[in-house]
Structure 1
Amino acid sequence: MEDYIYISSDDDEWDNNQDYNNDDDDDCEFDDGFSEIEQQSIGICQKAPSCKVIRKESLLAAQKEDLQRVMDLLSLKEHHARSLLIHYRWEADKVFAVFVERGSEKLYAEAGVTLEGKDELTPTLSTAELTCQICFEDVPVEQTTVMDCNHRFCNDCWTTHFSININEGKSKRVTCMAQKCNVICDEGKIRDLVTAKDPILAEKFDRFLLESYIDDNKRVKWCPSVPHCGNAIRIEDDEYCCEVECACGVQFCFNCLSEAHSPCSCMMWRLWMTKCKNDGKTVMWINENAKHCPRCHHAVEKNGGCNLVRCRCGQPFCWLCGGATGFEHTWSSIQGHTCGIYKEGEKDKAANVRNDLLRYTYYYERYMVHCDSLKLEANMKEKLHSEVLLLEARELQSKDFSWAENGLCRLRQSRRILSCSYPVSFYVFGQSLFKNEMTPKEMEIKQNLFENLQQQLEINVERLSMFLEEPFAEYPEEKVLETRMKIMTLSTVTDNLCEKLYDCIDNDLLVTLEQATHTIARYSSNGVAKASELPN
């Protein structure tokens, strides 16, 4: 068997004599996980998905769950419960906590909820009129509407007020028109009045109320797919910094809605994406064709044969060494400069800029190499499937070939993690984001630890990729079993290394830095959590 680069603890030892044959043809719960016996052999705990897919058809059902909880426990009508939940960002537990700690009066007052009061106007005649305090017109009582706060105005004024709020996108919390009254209007009465005048606007109002469950809910976010799939994802716990997969197949960070980027924090990823967008396409060209001005540090391209060049800021400098010079030169010398004499220990800003560019180029190249490999390996699934079909057609002793596709899932997960680890190196061990957060000695020790894990992961990821690309369907049975063992072993090794890399970042690097700002999603052997369907 091949040697694998991995520093293991006693808990991570691999028993090569264990029987991995799986006679049961069970489906793997996760596409990028392992079969049941393989999970037991490497200690992976099966865990139910912690997130749900909310489709358009199930959005009402999802909203009804929280509404019913509040309605039952506080004995409220639906529109009162909705007003409370919208105010508290659909956190039902927070509604109950405020109720217990501060009482119902504070709870309702802060959310603008007033339970229905007694209508002081009890008309005895159907022809009775009153004066609307908005338009000051005398109107029949039956053409007026009273809200829970006991303020009554004519239907035309109410309808105009509601229409303006709906068109301005404020329909989720429409307050009473009375001066200094912050009570939320009854959504049923809003719907009835607006429908009578503009049914399309009433539908828009209903849509706003329905989508408030997503727009105002910290636990629910729209899937960032392009074009938009129409789904939303709801997480079931308070761990907002996590990575999820929508039913449409898009994997994303729930916290920042970017593509899945752990073990890189959201802030580092945002900075890295911006830097790659601004500098990535030109960094190699600049490195090969330009030099930096020693005064303003802008990149300068030489368009002639003379080695005395001038930046747009007016500074002349020597193209050979990058040093600043005078404005004149002769056949034998350049004014104020000679680069033919080596000066020990000479440093300048241009050298620092060049070093920064070279440092960024180093990490950018490695990041892009693994991103490109990830795209190419996405096409391996069809090839592996064909290989498995050929193996199944042969009369081999082993009938379980899930190790091939499981290995590919592990490869893709580890490759993505590896690519995202390079922005972590760039920022944590640089001088821009965490300047003066670590002493030089601390940085050296932690950088050696992190880069050692990173290098081990890179070596084993490449080995796993190499074995998966082999035409093992053509091998004799003995060699097929050997390849199977190599792929399963490497899958376990890369899984353990990924977990150690996350642990190193979270507990060794970020623990001494701004950890609250740079929280990362937890590592999961099963990969990004796939959202399960929420019943309609």
Structure 2
Amino acid sequence: MDSDDDLYYYDDEEEEAMEDDDDGGGAAWQDEVEGDDPLPSMERPPGVLERLDSDSIESDVFTSWSSLVLWAIKKESLSVAQQQDLSMVMGVFNIKQHHARALLIHYRWNTFRLNDHLERKGQDRMLMEAGVVLSRENNKMAAPSPPPASTTKKQPSRKKTKKKKEASCNVCFEDFSPHSMSAMDCGHSFCDACWTGYFVSAIGGGNKQVRCMEFKCPAIVDEEVVQHFLGRKDPAMAERFQDLLLQSYVDDNSAVKWCPSVPHCGRAIRVASGELEVEPLCEVECPCGVSFCFRCAAATTHSPCPCAMWERWDAKGRGEAENTSCNRFKEEEKKKVDDAKRQLRRYEHYYKRFESHRLSCTVEREKIGPAVARRVEELESHDSILIKDASWLSGAHRSLLACRRALAQSYVFAYYMFDAEETATVPPPEKGSLSMAQRQSLFEDYQEQVEGNVEKLSELLGKDVIDMPDEDIVKVRQNAVNLVRVVETHCRKMYGCIQDELLPMLVEPMSIASFQPGGPSKAAELPA
């Protein structure tokens, strides 16, 4: 990479599989590294993960300033967040709430994709693909934005048959008066008893959306109608249906994930951006303190190791992957036994380094962290203006933890990347380009630089600066700022080497979350 601010270009092919009839194919996922401020994390507001342009980007690659806004949503705030999206779609498409929900679930609550497809496909085609069947009344007049189902007093929009004589139900084959028959938006009519039994069965099976009973009818029944029938028959089932509707905002939403904390903190994290068309690839921190990968929802951050590699490593650590012990090869030929021993030694080599840095990170968080916090408090009470600004100390500690974690997880990446038996690779794409051995050497050089400077920074932060003379404290501060700049620079280069030189060599496409100097961005609490 030519500069520390080079663009990380993520080529994501997920969009190609989403819609076979899309004109543009896959969408490029781009993440840019952040600026060269030695302590950028100190000025970054909570809840925002900035993705910046680079002046070194070629002119034919267009990017724009944007941000990922992170919200932590408690269960009591889910309905508020959900209603915001529902109201927006109801207004744009002039449809009822249950139709808006069906449309949003079909597009995984991605309003950017929904608006994009509205321009390219048109409203009628989108509604048809989502299984939305509008009643005649809905086509003639605007549907006002109703309040949430739990507070509305409006009668459910079911239709009674207009015939005055008795009608036959095609489910139970009994004859009923018009007042005991109900028709839905699609026009299909059945007796109230059959509708009620059908709704109880559907909600009992965990369905968030209930379609018409008519054979092959795709129409989705109005939520208020379902609530009306369930409320008379089984109030507990009606409450479960309401919970399922709220749950759909997380389970069917590509931009919302439950925090993987154990025990669960009761929060879901929403990554909001007007530019994302695919599931966000970033690492976030919940207000409860748990950090995790948003793409795979792993209960820890693992960048610069791709999600697929981390899942294999985690499974191996839990004993769910293949056993690397050579005992299973006792009766096989010597070559296979030697290969098994080699793989075992290789795994031990990378695991020891991974575990060593992981334990160092734990010590730096649990022991050095509180000590740094105490020193910050004492320095802030100092008489000298030059000394009392101790933000450099806490910022350096955050940078230390972020780079230490990245260093530990880089060994997991190396374990899978540089073994043809573990990961399939392709030959260099162009004649004269770097060979795999050269790329590995480049990566290991950056890794070594990060490792050496991380140890220096850890040693520096372990010193007690409180009893030092003022001029010595100033020197320590300058050394810390310089070390932070150096270690973050090499960390960026290591990330860039992985993304630009190594991941393109894989047969299976993979990407990594961009480097975040101050650690994962913390989500802000969404107001209830």
Per the TM superposition, whether the score is higher than 0.5 is yes
Could you tell me whether the CA contact under 8 Å between 1:367 and 1:419 is conserved in 2?
A: yes
> In the TM superposition, what whole-angstrom CA distance separates every residue of 1:72-93 from its partner, at most 9, and x where no partner exists?
1111111221122222222334
Alpha-carbon distance, 1:53 to partner:
1.4
- Are 1:262 and 2:303 counterparts? yes
In the alignment, the residues of structure 1 paired with residue 167 and residue 416 of structure 2 have an alpha-carbon distance, to the nearest angstrom, of: 70
Q: Which has the larger radius of gyration?
A: 1
In the alignment, the residues of structure 1 paired with residue 391 and residue 136 of structure 2 have an alpha-carbon distance, to the nearest angstrom, of: 66
Aligned match of 1:247 = 287
- Are 1:273 and 2:309 counterparts? no
> In the TM superposition, what whole-angstrom CA distance separates every residue of 1:284-331 from its partner, at most 9, and x where no partner exists?
xx8xxxxx57xx635xxxxxxxxxxxxxx4x8xxxxxxx97xxxxxxx
Aligned match of 1:76 = 95
In the alignment, the residues of structure 1 paired with residue 78 and residue 116 of structure 2 have an alpha-carbon distance, to the nearest angstrom, of: 26
Alpha-carbon distance, 1:442 to partner:
1.3
Aligned match of 2:441 = 448
Residue 387 (structure 1) aligned to one of 371, 375, 392: 375
Residue 489 (structure 2) aligned to one of 486, 491, 496: 496
Aligned match of 1:102 = 121
Q: Which runs of 5+ in 1 are unaligned?
A: 1-6, 13-19, 21-25, 34-45, 287-291, 299-312, 316-322, 325-347
> In the TM superposition, what whole-angstrom CA distance separates every residue of 1:499-536 from its partner, at most 9, and x where no partner exists?
111101000111222462x2111122342122223233
Letter in 2 for 1:216: D
Farther off after superposition, 413-422 or 264-273: 264-273
- Are 1:156 and 2:165 counterparts? no
Letter in 1 for 2:443: F
Partner of 1:437, secondary structure, is coil
In the alignment, the residues of structure 1 paired with residue 123 and residue 96 of structure 2 have an alpha-carbon distance, to the nearest angstrom, of: 15
- Are 1:216 and 2:252 counterparts? yes
Aligned match of 1:413 = 402
In the alignment, the residues of structure 2 paired with residue 147 and residue 98 of structure 1 have an alpha-carbon distance, to the nearest angstrom, of: 28
Mapping of residues 93-242 of structure 1, within 5 Å? 93-117=112-136, 121-123=161-163, 128-170=165-207, 172-237=208-273, 238=276, 240-242=280-282
Distance 1:477 1:102, change over 3 A: closer
> In the TM superposition, what whole-angstrom CA distance separates every residue of 1:115-144 from its partner, at most 9, and x where no partner exists?
1237694256xxx53222211222222222
Could you tell me whether the CA contact under 8 Å between 2:42 and 2:395 is conserved in 1?
A: no
Aligned match of 1:15 = none
Could you tell me whether the CA contact under 8 Å between 1:32 and 1:527 is conserved in 2?
A: no
In the alignment, the residues of structure 1 paired with residue 507 and residue 526 of structure 2 have an alpha-carbon distance, to the nearest angstrom, of: 37
Distance 1:137 1:48, change over 3 A: same
In the alignment, the residues of structure 2 paired with residue 198 and residue 32 of structure 1 have an alpha-carbon distance, to the nearest angstrom, of: 42
Aligned match of 2:329 = 297
- Are 1:357 and 2:330 counterparts? no
Farther off after superposition, 101-110 or 435-444: 435-444
Aligned match of 2:59 = none
Aligned match of 2:360 = 373
Alpha-carbon distance, 1:438 to partner:
4.3
Farther off after superposition, 46-55 or 351-360: 46-55
In the alignment, the residues of structure 2 paired with residue 188 and residue 31 of structure 1 have an alpha-carbon distance, to the nearest angstrom, of: 39
In the alignment, the residues of structure 2 paired with residue 400 and residue 94 of structure 1 have an alpha-carbon distance, to the nearest angstrom, of: 46
Could you tell me whether the CA contact under 8 Å between 1:32 and 1:410 is conserved in 2?
A: no
In the alignment, the residues of structure 2 paired with residue 525 and residue 494 of structure 1 have an alpha-carbon distance, to the nearest angstrom, of: 10
In the alignment, the residues of structure 2 paired with residue 85 and residue 57 of structure 1 have an alpha-carbon distance, to the nearest angstrom, of: 21
In the alignment, the residues of structure 2 paired with residue 11 and residue 91 of structure 1 have an alpha-carbon distance, to the nearest angstrom, of: 30
Structure 1-normalised TM-score?
0.76
Alpha-carbon distance, 1:382 to partner:
1.4
Could you tell me whether the CA contact under 8 Å between 1:117 and 1:150 is conserved in 2?
A: no
Could you tell me whether the CA contact under 8 Å between 1:388 and 1:473 is conserved in 2?
A: no
Could you tell me whether the CA contact under 8 Å between 2:99 and 2:132 is conserved in 1?
A: yes
In the alignment, the residues of structure 1 paired with residue 127 and residue 169 of structure 2 have an alpha-carbon distance, to the nearest angstrom, of: 27
Letter in 1 for 2:227: R
Q: Which runs of 5+ in 2 are unaligned?
A: 7-37, 49-64, 138-158
Alpha-carbon distance, 1:10 to partner:
9.8
In the alignment, the residues of structure 2 paired with residue 85 and residue 92 of structure 1 have an alpha-carbon distance, to the nearest angstrom, of: 8
Could you tell me whether the CA contact under 8 Å between 1:32 and 1:526 is conserved in 2?
A: no
Partner of 2:466, secondary structure, is helix
Distance 1:8 1:467, change over 3 A: farther
Letter in 2 for 1:189: V
Distance 1:498 1:180, change over 3 A: same
In the alignment, the residues of structure 1 paired with residue 114 and residue 239 of structure 2 have an alpha-carbon distance, to the nearest angstrom, of: 28
In the alignment, the residues of structure 2 paired with residue 262 and residue 123 of structure 1 have an alpha-carbon distance, to the nearest angstrom, of: 66
Letter in 1 for 2:436: M
Could you tell me whether the CA contact under 8 Å between 1:242 and 1:254 is conserved in 2?
A: yes
In the alignment, the residues of structure 1 paired with residue 5 and residue 105 of structure 2 have an alpha-carbon distance, to the nearest angstrom, of: 48
Partner of 1:165, secondary structure, is helix
Partner of 1:113, secondary structure, is coil
Partner of 1:415, secondary structure, is helix
Alpha-carbon distance, 1:476 to partner:
1.2
Could you tell me whether the CA contact under 8 Å between 2:47 and 2:524 is conserved in 1?
A: no
Letter in 1 for 2:189: R
Mapping of residues 478-489 of structure 1, within 5 Å? 478-489=471-482
Alpha-carbon distance, 1:64 to partner:
1.4
Alpha-carbon distance, 1:434 to partner:
3.1
Farther off after superposition, 464-473 or 71-80: 71-80
Q: CA RMSD in A?
A: 3.1
Could you tell me whether the CA contact under 8 Å between 1:265 and 1:519 is conserved in 2?
A: yes
Could you tell me whether the CA contact under 8 Å between 2:73 and 2:267 is conserved in 1?
A: yes
Letter in 2 for 1:277: R
In the alignment, the residues of structure 1 paired with residue 302 and residue 496 of structure 2 have an alpha-carbon distance, to the nearest angstrom, of: 16
In the alignment, the residues of structure 2 paired with residue 180 and residue 427 of structure 1 have an alpha-carbon distance, to the nearest angstrom, of: 48
Distance 1:397 1:163, change over 3 A: closer
Distance 1:404 1:143, change over 3 A: same
Could you tell me whether the CA contact under 8 Å between 1:113 and 1:184 is conserved in 2?
A: yes
Letter in 2 for 1:77: K
Alpha-carbon distance, 1:58 to partner:
1.8
Alpha-carbon distance, 1:196 to partner:
0.5
Farther off after superposition, 459-468 or 95-104: 95-104
Structure 2-normalised TM-score?
0.78
In the alignment, the residues of structure 1 paired with residue 115 and residue 47 of structure 2 have an alpha-carbon distance, to the nearest angstrom, of: 40
Letter in 1 for 2:123: S
In the alignment, the residues of structure 2 paired with residue 154 and residue 356 of structure 1 have an alpha-carbon distance, to the nearest angstrom, of: 67
Could you tell me whether the CA contact under 8 Å between 1:30 and 1:526 is conserved in 2?
A: no
Distance 1:81 1:403, change over 3 A: same
Partner of 2:71, secondary structure, is strand
> In the TM superposition, what whole-angstrom CA distance separates every residue of 1:157-204 from its partner, at most 9, and x where no partner exists?
00000000000011x221111223221111111110110011110011
- Are 1:89 and 2:108 counterparts? yes
In the alignment, the residues of structure 1 paired with residue 66 and residue 474 of structure 2 have an alpha-carbon distance, to the nearest angstrom, of: 30
